[in-house]
Copies of this chain bind each other. A is one copy, B any other.
């Protein structure tokens, strides 16, 4: 049994090592693609999207009603002659003399000679002559050209993940095609002769493989492309040959399992044998044993095989690497919450705890661990219900209900 005393690193030190030594020099993926909006969902913008023109492009009516010259409303009630109708989409710009008005629909362009909209509710809704009972303020119910956005304004910055709402904003500002980064191609492999595909049956010593399923789906959610998701043998030569195949054409390989100090930890053994593998103990719980390498030049991240350890390792190290490859900027979001209940935390290690989030009656965000018993490190169901991860610092050995905790949204 190997008893390697590994270098102990903080989370930040290990992450910095990944960014500098594993990814050093490789910025975001250079290749970009121009895609129509209908195909952009889930992609990451490589360039900012700017408004192609003013929004609104022309002064228009915010109400169904009558476009008037406000000077005609000095005495009330009054009657104005209706000289034209303007519907939404009309290009008309009817002339208006004193005492005249134009019937206008929501969104229709304001006639150049008018300055104010009288909503239909303040009138008798006349079609030849309209009686106006009440006057809005001058300029009321008019949306000015460029009032929302000016031509050239950034609608959505580079690095944004494209959601349905983001697409709505981009379309409204007139852009029909966006430039997104190529999806990073990621190969996923779980190691361990004890792994059985879900749906099979277990004999003594075997467990169901879940890390590949979880990582592959999470990578898709993040906008990556999963080239393969496989289980690798614990036999070193076969493992190395499979790794050659996995790395071929990939931007990143994610391995789970076999990274610890055990005698049969094949990921560590093979990657260290190649003289490129770097294995560390990180001051965190779960997820202490971590490793990385470049295999045929392709970055490889190796996570511990316990499902919760893998999930946390992915959140803490895998996601930042994917975001780096995609050039993704994290949007603002909540970063702290209040512990709804207490729990113990290992001194000297940063603890990551899957939590649910709710509200209290004063608007505070409450974090409740989603595991139900004892240690979180093998609580397979704790992930399904989690909305965030609570982060407990190294110098804390106990969280008490009411304590402020750092959180990271999932």
Chain A positions within 8 Å of B, measured between CB atoms, are: 1, 3, 37-38, 41, 53, 55-58, 62, 64, 85, 87-93, 103, 105-109, 120, 125, 127, 143, 147-149, 155-156, 160, 163-177, 192-195, 197-200, 202-211, 213-221, 229, 234, 260-264, 305-307, 311, 331-338, 356-359, 361-365, 373-374, 377-381, 383-387, 404, 410
Q: Name the one of B91, B93, B160, B208 contacting A173, with C-beta atoms under 8 angstroms.
A: B208
Could you show 6 A-B contacts with beta carbons less than 8 Å apart? A3-B125, A156-B384, A174-B198, A175-B198, A176-B198, A334-B365
CA distance A200 to B108 in the complex (A): 19
- Closest residue of chain B to A41 (Cβ to Cβ) is B217
A264–B105 CB distance below 8 A: yes
Q: Name the one of B1, B56, B218 contacting A207, with C-beta atoms under 8 angstroms.
A: B56
Closest beta carbon of chain B to A193's beta carbon, Å: 4
B364–A260 CB distance below 8 A: no
B91–A311 CB distance below 8 A: no
Q: Name the one of B108, B204, B217 contacting A205, with C-beta atoms under 8 angstroms.
A: B108
Number of copies: 2
A107–B207 CB distance below 8 A: yes
Q: Within 8 Å CB of A380, what residues of B?
A: 55, 148-149, 155, 168-169, 172-173
Closest beta carbon of chain B to A209's beta carbon, Å: 7
Q: Within 8 Å CB of A56, what residues of B?
A: 207, 378
Known contacts A108-B205, A174-B199; decide if A147 and B373 are in contact (CB<8 Å).
yes
List 8 A-B pairs, minimum CB-CB distance, nearest first: A176-B199, A89-B194, A168-B214, A164-B218, A171-B210, A164-B217, A172-B380, A172-B210
CA distance A52 to B306 in the complex (A): 19
Closest beta carbon of chain B to A128's beta carbon, Å: 12
Known contacts A89-B193, A125-B1, A363-B337; decide if A213 and B120 are in contact (CB<8 Å).
no
A334–B358 CB distance below 8 A: yes
Closest beta carbon of chain B to A84's beta carbon, Å: 13
Q: Within 8 Å CB of A199, what residues of B?
A: 174-177
CA distance A143 to B59 in the complex (A): 70
Closest beta carbon of chain B to A382's beta carbon, Å: 8
A206–B89 CB distance below 8 A: yes
B204–A58 CB distance below 8 A: yes
Q: Within 8 Å CB of A148, what residues of B?
A: 373, 378-381
Closest beta carbon of chain B to A365's beta carbon, Å: 5
A204–B91 CB distance below 8 A: yes
B198–A170 CB distance below 8 A: yes
Most buried by B among A88, A155, A221: A88
Closest beta carbon of chain B to A201's beta carbon, Å: 8
